[in-house]
Amino acid sequence: MALKTLVFVCFLVAAMALVVPMAEAQFGGLIGNLLGLIRVTGTVFCTADGNMGENGTATPVFPNALVQLQCGGNVVFSATTNGSGIFSILLDPLQFLLPSLLNNCNLAVKTPLSNCNATLPSVGGLFSSLQVLGNTLVGLLNIANIIPTRFRLLP
Ligand SMILES: *[C@@H]1O[C@H](CO)[C@@H](O)[C@H](O)[C@H]1NC(C)=O
Ligand SMILES: *[C@@H]1O[C@H](CO)[C@@H](O)[C@H](O)[C@H]1NC(C)=O
Ligand SMILES: *[C@@H]1O[C@H](CO)[C@@H](O)[C@H](O)[C@H]1NC(C)=O
């Protein structure tokens, strides 16, 4: 390939890389305004069952835990808990219909509990089904908030 052509191809690729995300962002924004978003969020605690203890304020959280959204056994989304043990997953309602999300999907914490507290199990994982907390209106954007029902430690 002549150098000139190569330079032109590089330029074209670079230009496309710039234009495509902008178009997507605009399109996504438009869809978002019309239909809203689905937000799956929650806190993973560093306890034997991953839930808040009896006295919530004193319960340690589980930071840097890999949380997967699994639907029909397939991983469809992954997130990591932050320093506060909080994870957040945003979904496009065009791809994920709420009723099917609630019926077919669950959350799985893949990082062993022993990572946050060596006395907790190093095998098995936390799982939870999903439930609707409610809706938040952010400007024109309607966000459906989905939270874990309750985590359980499964082998
Ligand atoms: C939780 O707090 C209450 C009082 O606020 C106390 O009576 C109880 O023993 C505490 N439970 C645990 C497990 O620490
Ligand atoms: C974790 O994320 C939540 C929600 O976005 C935020 O409020 C909190 O400050 C974050 N914690 C840390 C330690 O980054
Ligand atoms: C670790 O887990 C054990 C058993 O649940 C608990 O007694 C202990 O307080 C935990 N340690 C920390 C630092 O959270």
Residue bearing the CA closest to ligand 2, atom 2: 86
**Structural domains counted in the chain:** 2
Tell whether the model's pLDDT for residue 8 goes beyond 60. no
Tell whether the model's pLDDT for residue 87 goes beyond 90. yes
* CA–centroid distance, residue 136 to ligand 1 (Å): 33
What's the CA gap between 58 and 54, in Å, rounded? 9
pLDDT of residue 73: 87
Q: Where are the alpha helices (DSSP H) in 55-133?
A: 98-104
Q: Are residues 114 and 146 located together in one domain of the fold?
A: yes
112, two tokens: 């062993």
Residue whose CB lies within 8 A of the most ligand 1 atoms, among 47, 51, 54, 57, for a mutation test: 54
Q: Are residues 79 and 17 located together in one domain of the fold?
A: no
Q: Are residues 79 and 125 located together in one domain of the fold?
A: yes
Q: Are residues 148 and 115 located together in one domain of the fold?
A: yes
Q: Are residues 130 and 73 located together in one domain of the fold?
A: yes
> Which one-letter DSSP state was computed for residue 131?
E
What's the CA gap between 47 and 58, in Å, rounded? 11
Q: Which amino acid is at 131?
A: Q
Q: Are residues 47 and 11 located together in one domain of the fold?
A: no
Report the chain's mean pLDDT, rounded to a whole number: 83
The region, left, alpha or beta by phi > 0 then psi within -120 to 50, assigned to residue 28 is alpha
Tell whether the model's pLDDT for residue 18 goes beyond 70. no
Pocket of ligand 3 (CB under 6 A): 46, 48, 60, 117, 119-120
Tell whether the model's pLDDT for residue 112 goes beyond 50. yes
Cβ count near 87 (within 10 Å): 24
Q: Tell me the mean pLDDT in the region 84-104.
A: 93
pLDDT of residue 23: 43
75, two tokens: 């991983």
pLDDT of residue 3: 53
What's the CA gap between 136 and 133, in Å, rounded? 10
Residue bearing the CA closest to ligand 3, atom 10: 117
Q: Tell me the mean pLDDT in the region 105-119.
A: 97
Could you tell me the residue range of the domain that residue 8 belongs to?
1-34
Q: Are residues 64 and 16 located together in one domain of the fold?
A: no
pLDDT of residue 10: 44
What's the CA gap between 36 and 25, in Å, rounded? 14
Reported as a single tens digit per residue, the pLDDT across 45-56 is 999 998 887 766
pLDDT of residue 64: 97
- Residues 88-111 as b/e (b if ≥16 CB within 10 A, e otherwise) read ebebebeebeeeebeebbbbbbeb
76, two tokens: 């469809």
In which band, very low, low, confident or very high, does the pLDDT at 93 lie, cut at 50, 70 and 90?
A: confident
pLDDT of residue 140: 81
Name the residue with higher pLDDT: 92 or 42.
42
